[in-house]
């Protein structure tokens, strides 16, 4: 715990069998109270590895998308009584050793959201980030800072921490089930005036680390632009969008966000956490 707050790590997983153990072993359990994983119908041995490691695991019976995976992650985290929720990809691209710094920003009460930035520190390219991804990151971040009125170093990291209040307030169910969910969530946090802190985070690009392909990257970039434009239009009262509406649909603790509402299930023998 940090400052008397329960810290829970969520791992949105898809085909993460080769990197899950390394990610899990680097989680600092002197700070983290619990870890849970949501598997989005992986085609590899992700669930088997999670069972062996004793990670509390939930399974989507079919692939529902990265954004839907996070919705289940956060709903289960709320049900578990988390005060601070840290989301990290289980592909070992980000360093879980930074979790205390991220969670600490939220535990301090000064920030409600914290992100692990690959750009702060200036070593993203040294970590193997492809040039086209780095360039797109910088261009999109400049565009978003101008339209959203913020000064973040990046919006596209998969390493974040949130207070319980953020997860209960943002209309997350209005967001995409695809990769642009991440970007929409930060735009919502800014729209609803939640303070966001940043820490420098090293990143690793290697064969086993997940990475969306170029066509999906283009789709993501377009989604980022559209989200930013919607933000501006709503701020100036020129349009209304559910993703920025205070009456938009919010998470319910313990709900499974599959199409049927019941497609996620707990893996019963994966309850024991690492001692």
Domains and CATH numbers, the chain: 7-263 (3.90.550.10)
Is pLDDT at 68 greater than 80 in this prediction?
yes
> Which two structure tokens, joined as six digits, stand for 207?
């064969």
Question: Mean pLDDT, to the nearest integer, of 22-29?
Answer: 97
> Which two structure tokens, joined as six digits, stand for 31?
């700070």
266: three-class secondary structure by DSSP: strand
Backbone φ and ψ for 269, nearest 5 degrees, come out as: -100, 25
Apex CA 243: angle with CA 255 and CA 59, to 5°? 30
pLDDT digits 0-9 by tens, 1-22: 788 999 999 999 999 999 999 9
Between 115-119, 159-163, 267-271, the lowest mean confidence (pLDDT) is in 267-271
Give the distance, in angstroms, between the CA of residue 53 and the centroid of all CA atoms in the same chain: 22
239: three-class secondary structure by DSSP: coil
Between 85-99, 152-166, 184-198, 246-260, the lowest mean confidence (pLDDT) is in 246-260
pLDDT digits 0-9 by tens, 152-211: 999 999 999 999 999 999 999 999 999 999 999 999 999 999 999 999 998 887 666 656
Strands (DSSP E) found in the chain: 7-13, 34-39, 56-60, 84-88, 113-117, 159-163, 196-200, 264-266
**Nearest-angstrom CA–CA distance, 275 and 263:** 30
**Nearest-angstrom CA–CA distance, 8 and 3:** 14
Q: What is the helix (H) or strand (E) element at residue 77, kind and residue range?
A: helix 66-79
Is pLDDT at 260 greater than 60 in this prediction?
no
- Strands in 264-266's sheet, in edge-to-edge order, are 196-200, 113-117, 159-163, 84-88, 7-13, 34-39, 56-60, 264-266
Percent with pLDDT over 70 in the chain: 89
Which residues are paired to 39 by β-bridges? 13, 59
pLDDT digits 0-9 by tens, 222-241: 999 999 999 999 999 999 99
Between 51-55, 142-146, 224-228, 254-258, the lowest mean confidence (pLDDT) is in 254-258
**Nearest-angstrom CA–CA distance, 172 and 168:** 9
**Per-residue CA distances from 103 to 97, 160, 192 (Å):** 11, 9, 20
**Nearest-angstrom CA–CA distance, 205 and 228:** 28
């Amino acid at each position: 715990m940090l400052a008397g707050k329960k810290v829970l790590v969520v791992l949105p997983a898809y085909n993460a069998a080769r990197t899950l153990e390394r990610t899990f072993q680097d989680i600092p359990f002197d700070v983290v109270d619990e870890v849970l994983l949501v598997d989005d119908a992986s085609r590899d041995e992700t669930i088997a590895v999670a069972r062996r490691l004793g990670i509390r695991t939930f399974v989507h019976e079919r692939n529902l998308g990265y954004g839907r995976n996070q919705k289940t992650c956060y709903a289960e985290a709320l049900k578990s009584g988390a005060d601070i929720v840290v989301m990290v990809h289980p592909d070992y691209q980000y360093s879980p050793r930074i979790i205390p710094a991220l969670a600490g920003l939220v535990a301090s009460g000064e920030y409600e959201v914290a992100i692990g930035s690959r750009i702060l520190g200036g070593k993203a390219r040294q970590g193997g980030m492809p040039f086209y991804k780095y360039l797109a990151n910088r261009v999109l971040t400049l565009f978003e800072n101008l339209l959203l009125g913020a000064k973040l170093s990046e919006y596209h990291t998969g390493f974040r921490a949130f207070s319980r209040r953020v997860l209960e307030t943002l209309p997350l169910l209005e967001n995409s089930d695809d990769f642009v969910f991440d970007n929409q969530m930060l735009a919502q946090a800014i729209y609803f005036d939640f303070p966001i802190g940043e820490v420098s985070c090293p990143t690793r690009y290697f064969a086993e680390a997940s990475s969306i392909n170029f066509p999906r990257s283009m789709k993501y970039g377009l989604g980022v632009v559209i989200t930013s434009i919607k933000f501006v239009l709503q701020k100036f009262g020129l349009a209304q969008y559910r993703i920025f509406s205070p009456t938009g649909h919010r998470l319910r603790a313990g709900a499974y966000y599959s199409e049927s509402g019941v497609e996620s299930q707990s893996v019963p023998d994966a309850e024991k956490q690492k001692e």
